[in-house]
Chains A and B, each alone.
Chain A
Amino acid sequence: MEHPSETDLVKRILDGEPQAFSVLLRRYQRPVHSLIRQIVYSREDAEELTQDVSVKAFTKLCSFRGGSSLSTWLYRIAYNAAISSTRKQKPLYPEFDEKMLGNIPDEAVDELLNKEHDEALMQRMEAALERLHPADRALISLYYSEERSISEVSAITALSPENVKVKLFRIRKKIVFLINNPGHE
């Protein structure tokens, strides 16, 4: 089956063929929804936001200049929309200070985050992820689930590549801290 290129699809949509958007939608709806689902709290909100983001991508397609890949551009729209939707809710996130994160050895982090077949640990890890700040969850989701490179994560989140690296390093420690201290406020 013939796979039209993204440039070709974008051109066809902008030339007045909105049906061509369904090809892009089929290609990107899952990863976009997956990122949004990691950021927002409810399944219904994630679904609604994915719809809104898709329609927004269609209406703003003329502003896509091709400076980045289409997937990066779509992720950026999804990331911004999801983060601003979480700003309306004000849940409390646990506070972390540098000292307590610094006390966690890197080897312990590596070991814990690679223990794949421990169901109890997986449940604690899921609970820890739930308590992270949405922007932190977005960052690890982009890097680990969506397998974006550091430069792509940087382009999506508008953080510098160095900042992304530092944040990823700290988020891993935060997860381990929350797994070991589930009651931490």
Chain B
Amino acid sequence: MNKDVALRKALSRRTDGLPEGFEQRVMNRVLLEAEKKSRREEVISLFVVSSVSLALLAGGIFVLRYFFSFNMLDLFANVQFRMEYSPLLIHCVFIASIILILLGLDYKFRQMFRKARREHGS
């Protein structure tokens, strides 16, 4: 297609190239935006999880209190902590610690995996 060749030439003479480092500058802004977006998503998901948990807890308390006439204070009034229960308590704390450590490791490994994937992609 060679129609209007002079017009094409005049149009091409009006354009100039992009300066050196332009791509890097844009990518810096893009990565900053990606960081902001990921932080925003984290905050939103934390908010959603907290809201849902609170709503479930409130719903549970409401059902127990008004449908089953269950009073937490009555239950805890009879609870007594004795020394003979302490090995059981130690066992529970041990299991809870292991769970917490595993959850922490899971979070850390996920982060490392994401970072490695990003670096591999670039």
Whole-angstrom distance from the CB of B19 to the nearest CB of chain A?
A: 7
From B15, B23, B30, B38, give the contact of A16 (CB < 8 A).
Answer: B38
A29 close to B (CB within 8 Å): yes
**By DSSP majority rule, is chain A's interface helix, strand, loop, or mixed?**
helix
> Which segment of B2-10, B53-61, B77-85, B101-109 sits at the interface?
B2-10
A72 close to B (CB within 8 Å): no
Q: Say whether B26 contacts A25, CB under 8 Å.
A: yes
Q: Say whether B7 contacts A172, CB under 8 Å.
A: yes
Whole-angstrom CA separation of A33 from B23 in the bound complex: 12
Report chain A residues within 8 Å CB of B13.
122, 126
> Which segment of A75-83, A86-94, A99-107, A109-117 sits at the interface?
A109-117
Closest to B18 in A: A33
B43-72 CB contacts (< 8 Å) to partner A: none
Closest to A13 in B: B34
Number of interface residues of A (CB under 8 A): 44
Q: List 29 A-B contacts (CB under 8 A).
A: A12-B121, A17-B117, A17-B118, A19-B121, A20-B122, A29-B23, A29-B26, A33-B15, A37-B14, A38-B11, A43-B16, A51-B26, A54-B29, A58-B34, A59-B33, A113-B4, A114-B2, A114-B6, A116-B6, A121-B6, A122-B13, A130-B14, A144-B4, A144-B7, A144-B8, A144-B11, A145-B12, A172-B7, A175-B7
| Interface residues of A, Cβ cutoff 8 Å to B | 12, 16-22, 25-26, 29-30, 33-34, 37-38, 43, 47, 50-51, 54-55, 58-59, 110, 112-116, 118, 121-122, 125-126, 129-130, 140-141, 144-145, 147, 172, 175
